[in-house]
Amino acid sequence: MVRNGKQYLNSLKDNRCIYVNGEKVQDVTSHPAFRGISESFARLYDLAADPSNDMIYTTEDGTTANKVFMIPRSREDLAVRRRAIAKWADATCGFAGRSPDHVAAFLAGFASYPDVFGEYRQNVLDFYQYARDEDLFVTYVIIPPQVDRSKAAHEQEEKYLPVGVLEERKDGIVVRGSQMLGTSAAVSNYLFVSCITPLRPGDEDYAISFVLPIDTPGLKLYPRPTYATGKESIFDYPLSTQFDESDSLVVFDDVFIPWKHVFTYKNIEATRAQFHETPAHVLGNNQAQIRLSTKLKFTIGVARKITAMGGTDKFPQVQERLGELASLAATVEGMLLASEYECTVDKNGTARPNARFLYGIVGMQDQIYAGVIKILRELVGGGVLQLPSSYHEMVNPETKDDIRQYIRASGVDSEARIQLYRLAWDIIGSEFAGRHQQYEMFYNGAPFVVRGHAYRNYGYHEPLEMVDRFLGSYTVPKALLKEV
């Protein structure tokens, strides 16, 4: 089943426990903090359900499903999957980092390499099939809370700060603690819970992976302040009102998990291997780079349109900055396509994007996005600061004539100019904008972590062989050898 937007929104009307401003949220689909993003995700489901958009495929089991759940078996499959993911990224302008396709990629990676999960392999396969066939929105929390980052999980001052096993029962386990960052968790159906940060001997109680419905008793979400609430119109805050995913601290207050939903259990090696020995991490980051490429295209489109509106695109110095933006966006897109073209097929028959090119660009993502935002700031200048407080000044009889007279561009009316500059501000200056810059810096971990992926996956044997071959092509002078 590929569900539509209405079915998705109906699936959110349950007993989930979410607190915003000290009050329990009764319905995420109507609450100001989540209404915009849930409606945006509903539009993604409508888009996928429309056969004309070519996002439906026949699975290996003979069912039909959303292509975001595909297990790619060839370079061609990776291209098909990329085009499907890009359709969703286009619909959110690349500003929805945890749309339903992200963890769908991880689940596909898990299911393509189930032996990593040992005795729980069938649980992984069963849940993947269930999530795929029901077109579920699964998100994750895989980072422990930042209480004392110098200590291992079992060394914290209290045992259950990170989520860990409290009790083992015949029919399942009980977990207690918390985990972060819960992006989009408030508007998802299921949560995948694990730990991607390195675990040490003694951390076995925290070396677990499991899934659970968002409305599971004892599961509580505490989202950060919302950037959608208080924004009166899409015109004034076009991104904040539609694409604020929310990020949540997730608390497990003695939550029961049946064995069928357990993927790893008190196994440090399997908990690590699920991400890096299966294709899960590389497929998940492939989705993230498809989204980032779209986001950069959209952002430089805003820059190009603003400079054309003001006539500055004719200045050589502005063309130079636009050229820098073009180079950055092309680099991300080119590395994405290179990782696809140079893919490998593992022993289980899964096509994996080439890690050299994929992680090479992931390792530069924080610098690239920050650089794009810096250039866009320079190109828009003070224009984003000289805007009316809201659209009301544009319609109020007492103020509208001033706005139309003084906030416009040559050949462009005030409404079009204000609309474009409002969009630019929501990319570079609003709370939403600040969160996105932080997100692109840390969504995959601290900079040293992501560059570590690039270091490990580059394949240094090739450049080292080149150097050794050259060094071996000539001999050390005999006179020098005598001196030695």
Q: Is the peptide bond before 181 cis (omega within 30 degrees of 0)?
A: yes
149 is in an annotated binding site: yes
Cα maximum dimension of the chain: 95
205 is in an annotated binding site: no
Q: Do 112 and 164 contact (CB within 8 A), yes or no?
A: no
Calpha distance 49→2 (Å, rounded): 6
DSSP secondary structure, 302-357, as one string: HHHHHHHHHTGGGSHHHHHHHHHHHHHHHHHHHHHHHHHHT-EE-TTS-EE--HHH
Q: Do 458 and 360 contact (CB within 8 A), yes or no?
A: yes
147 is in an annotated binding site: yes
377 is in an annotated binding site: no
Helical pair 365-380 and 316-341, crossing angle rounded to 10 deg: 150
183 is in an annotated binding site: yes
The DSSP bridge partners found for residue 165 are 175
Calpha distance 286→337 (Å, rounded): 10
Q: Do 121 and 85 contact (CB within 8 A), yes or no?
A: no
Sign of CA dihedral 57, 86, 81, 441: negative
Q: Do 198 and 149 contact (CB within 8 A), yes or no?
A: no
Beta carbons within 10 angstroms of residue 447's beta carbon: 15
b/e per residue 105-137 (b: at least 16 CB within 10 A): bbbbbbbbbbebbeebbebbeebbbebbbbbbb
Residue 359, phi then psi, degrees to nearest 5: -75, -20
Helical pair 75-91 and 280-310, crossing angle rounded to 10 deg: 50
C-alpha 378: how far from chain center = 27
Burial class of residue 190 in the structure, from the number of CB atoms within 10 Å of its CB (0-12 exposed, 13-18 middle, 19+ buried): buried
Q: Residues at the annotated binding site for FAD?
A: 146-149, 183
- Known binding positions: 146-149, 183
